[in-house]
Amino acid sequence: MLLVFMILTITCSEMCIVLCYIYLCHGDYEWWWRSFLTSGSCAIHVFLYSIFYYNSQLDITKTLSMFLYFGYNLIIAFVFFILTGTIGYQACLIFVRKIYGEIKLD
């Protein structure tokens, strides 16, 4: 599980750094929220997969059980959104500080 988390961290970081570089090349210097939302969008996949799993594998007939299932999955997807968004934002922040720290004014 640690290996999967490391792969997730590396993938989110690389994806956000590439998109941040593209934004900076086009002169768009407001990359903060875009880096957070780009990396955090993985949570949409997590929640959509929980809906698919509910429809294909689970046999829940009671309404309260259904609300509990989707409520907990919504909380898990939100925490996943915050986690991956923070990873992407921190990676872009380090990247931007590194590339602008290399600029020398003579």
Predicted confidence pLDDT, tens digits, the chain (106 residues): 999 999 999 999 999 999 999 999 998 888 888 999 999 999 999 999 999 999 999 888 899 999 999 999 999 999 999 999 999 999 999 999 999 887 766 5
Report the pLDDT value the prediction gives residue 51, as an integer from 0 to 100: 94
Report the pLDDT value the prediction gives residue 105, as an integer from 0 to 100: 66
Confirm whether 106 is domain-assigned: no
Based on the number of CB atoms within 10 Å of its own CB, is 34 exposed (0-12), middle (13-18) or buried (19 or more)? middle
Measured CA to CA, the distance from residue 26 to residue 45 in angstroms comes to 29
Confirm whether 92 is domain-assigned: yes
Confirm whether 60 is domain-assigned: yes
Confirm whether 14 is domain-assigned: yes
Looking at residue 54, what DSSP letter applies? Answer: H
Confirm whether 16 is domain-assigned: yes
pTM score of the predicted model: 0.86
Measured CA to CA, the distance from residue 59 to residue 81 in angstroms comes to 27
Confirm whether 76 is domain-assigned: yes
Distances 45 to 42, 50, 55 between C-alpha atoms, Å: 5, 9, 15
Query: How many structural domains does the chain have?
Result: 1
By residue range, what is the domain housing residue 18?
Answer: 2-101
Confirm whether 64 is domain-assigned: yes
Report the pLDDT value the prediction gives residue 31, as an integer from 0 to 100: 86
Confirm whether 56 is domain-assigned: yes
Measured CA to CA, the distance from residue 74 to residue 92 in angstroms comes to 27
